[in-house]
Amino acid sequence: MKFCPECGNLLYRMKEGLYCKLCGNYWFKKGGKLKIETGRINIEKDKNTSNDLNNEPKIKILNKTQLSKKINYLHFFPYEQFRESQENIIKQIEESARSKKIVLLVAPNGTGKTVIALSSLLPVAIENNLKIIYLCRTHSQNTRVIKELIKISRFINMNDIKGAKINGLSIRGRNEMCLNKTLLSLKLNPKESMAVCRDLRKNRNCSHFLNLLKKRDEFDKPVLIAPDLFEKPIDAEDLINFCATHKLCPYFLSKFLLEEMRVVICNYNWIFNPSIRETFLKFIGREIDKCILVIDECHNIIDVATDVNSERITPYSLRICLKDLEMYQSPVLMLSFVNILYDHLNKKKDILKTEEKAIVPDIFLEKIYKKLGFADLNEFENFIKALHEFSIAIHEEKLANGEISRDFVGALAEFWLKWIKNYSLENYFFCYNVQKIKERKTIVLEIVALDPREIAVPVLKNCHSCLNLSGTVNPYVFNHLMGLHESGKSYKGIIADSPFKKQNIKAIITEGVDTKRENRTPLMYKKIINKINEVLYCTPANVGIFCASYKILKGLLDNNLEVITEKNKRKLFVEEPGLSASENAFLVNDFKSMASNRENGAVLLGVCGGRNSEGEDYPGDYMNSVIIAGFPYHLPTPRVNAKIEYYDKVFNKQGWNFAYLYPAVQRANQASGRPIRKIVDKGAIVFMDSRFKDKYKWISEWIRNELEIIPDKDDAIIQHLYPFWNSS
């Protein structure tokens, strides 16, 4: 096992040499010396060579006057110099964390939000024996945090800072860290995976888990299983690869390691899903009041907090329930109940178009229990509790027989207990949702939570302190929807100045385009495509086009967008609904690979709110211009209308702004920031819908400060973009 001389990360053996996933470097021996190769750059490495090939600052060495006795941010900030305003922001966050405040930092990419968060919070965590729980959306964001932690760890070691040693671990969900072929073959959701995993362990049917228990019994501490690997920050992928080699369970090894880790990097659900949080806190060995939370890309947490509080059932889940109830000879009434639901949903699926339809929850509830012959709701509730107890009996019998149990009966009972508990509350919406997936109609019966505060406020109230990070969030909306002022903690808002040079950003709104439904005519699509042609004519290498919806995307394709891309010698890549993660990754990687040809390049056509417009970065020539085609309002579905009505009541007539306008502009803001990820990046942002002019105050400030309105004239875009891309 070899480790990277750059960052200490585990190296992978490739055909070209040894590869480090964090640095992106290949290492190999040449003439007795290590040689490093990164892309087209080849340099001989020695102790005096800069350890960063991306123009980032070198790691600094502190002198004795800088090393104060009291630990503070200077002991953890690993670079030679601060970027503009960086030190001031760090000081404010460190002071706020010591005072147990909730902090919101709104700062664009290039500000260095990750190192700001870590260097400001680590001294507070170490002094007070707290854990830092760093919550991210994607695996690549997790890796970025680990990469900064490794730099900080090296910096601490180089400066021999006493009492400041840190370690950290990024973890993933059970499905993503499991090596058991039986569980993986079932392709379960996280809740089902948890139940099946538990059964496999109880029946001693998981060799990876049994091997891990043997290893754990050999050592006093889990880190001693591989001290070179686990005593410094480690990424989940490296842990998984280590476990695959040694036939250990990565998921439970990560849990055994958590108690000894200062920093834990994980998905939002580990804290914001109440059922997951309880188990997670046991493994880390802390109550939540002994944890500092960092919520990266915190604008996402609003939807996360409502999603984890919502429930659904489908005809498929009911069909599995029927099989279990029949096999284990349930009371006839239980079978009748599931059959009634199953038949009802299938009839509704045939009647309803592809749409969402609201349900009056108390009337629906009464119809169900009267069909079953119950006199009142109390009798029905007792019946559902009996169904839940029967599900436990089924599970125990399956377990005793060594079978794998997927507990659909228990999930059905929990769904109806939630319905009974919340049917009269205004902050829940009940509906059918009919969709077409791969030419097949599906139907879902849903309980939809409307208020994120129900989940968010208890977390914020009980944690030690919380730092929220985003480049695009609207502080006013976030404050209200997350209930920051209801948490019982003081609140600190920080809005960072843009770190980008004015001459590196060109942001425009085009007149003459309006993608309202009634305006989506061939004439309007032709106008949009002509304006896209002007952007392509001016822009070197790659361009992104993120549409307001798949309907607009299809409209552009139907009106010969591909002809324009071919005319400009650009290859067109189209994001399609239903692509798997691996299929989409291939698409994006192929698109990025075209950036090496600045004269031609490629076009990525996708949608606002999709994974390519929010979860992916395109620095440098990977995407030089981005077009937001249309104002990305969602359709005014019954669910959205219910949210608007509810928010009007609880947020002083702000329903339309909070539930409809803000999510749309947020999708546009996220898409607009894709090309400009680093300080040295240069990018053009084109809002191709005149409605952005009326809502410009909602656009992210770092973009808003550079906005220009372009008249609806031929070559008007060229007059603005050509000098931008061709000036020295």
Task: Quickly list H helices, 401-521.
Answer: 408-422, 453-462, 475-482
| Cα three-residue angle 353-354-360, rounded to 5 degrees | 75
450-464: burial string, b at 16+ Cβ within 10 Å, e else: bbbbbbbbbbbeebb
What is the model's pLDDT at position 159? Answer: 83
What is the model's pLDDT at position 261? Answer: 95
Arithmetic mean of pLDDT, 649-658: 96
Q: Do 377 and 365 form a contact (C-beta atoms < 8 A)?
A: yes
Amino acid identity of residue 134, one-letter, is Y
Cα of 110 vs its chain's centroid, Å:
19
* pTM for the model: 0.87
Q: Do 542 and 623 form a contact (C-beta atoms < 8 A)?
A: yes
The CA distance from 639 to 654, in Å, is 16
Task: Quickly list H helices, 247-298.
Answer: 250-258, 269-272, 274-284
The CA distance from 111 to 326, in Å, is 60
E strand spans, 280-346: 291-295, 311-313
Q: What is the pLDDT of residues 299-333, one digit of tens each?
A: 999 999 999 999 999 999 999 999 999 999 999 99
The CA distance from 677 to 505, in Å, is 12
Half-sphere exposure of 407 (CA within 13 A, CB side): 28
Q: Do 34 and 43 form a contact (C-beta atoms < 8 A)?
A: no
Cα of 529 vs its chain's centroid, Å:
32
Q: What is the pLDDT of residues 166-192, one digit of tens each?
A: 999 999 988 899 999 989 888 887 778
Confidence of residue 38 (pLDDT cuts 50, 70, 90): very low
The CA distance from 194 to 190, in Å, is 6
The CA distance from 509 to 688, in Å, is 6
Which one has a higher pLDDT value, 438 or 74? 74
The CA distance from 715 to 510, in Å, is 12
Arithmetic mean of pLDDT, 255-275: 95
The CA distance from 531 to 12, in Å, is 46
Nearest alpha carbon to residue 149 among 123, 163, 168: 168
Mean pLDDT of the chain: 89
Q: Do 48 and 66 form a contact (C-beta atoms < 8 A)?
A: no
The CA distance from 132 to 117, in Å, is 10
The CA distance from 537 to 279, in Å, is 55
What is the model's pLDDT at position 12? Answer: 60
The CA distance from 300 to 666, in Å, is 10
- Is residue 55's pLDDT more than 70? no
Arithmetic mean of pLDDT, 359-377: 96
Confidence of residue 158 (pLDDT cuts 50, 70, 90): confident
Q: What is the pLDDT of residues 195-227, one digit of tens each?
A: 889 889 989 999 999 999 999 999 888 889 988
Residue reference for tokens 């992978």 = 12
**Backbone φ and ψ of 54, nearest 5°:** -115, 25
Q: What is the pLDDT of residues 61-120, one digit of tens each?
A: 555 445 556 789 999 999 988 988 899 999 999 999 999 999 999 999 889 999 999 999
What string of H, E and C letters represents the secondary structure of 649-718?
A: HHCCCCHHHHHHHHHHHHHHHHHHCCCCCCCCCCEEEEEECCHHHHCHHHCCHHHHCCEEEECCCCCHHH
The CA distance from 226 to 673, in Å, is 40
| DSSP SS3 for 219 | coil
**Percentage of residues in the chain having pLDDT higher than 70:** 90
Q: Do 661 and 476 form a contact (C-beta atoms < 8 A)?
A: no
- Is residue 725's pLDDT more than 70? yes
| DSSP SS3 for 406 | coil
Nearest alpha carbon to residue 710 among 593, 633, 627, 605: 627
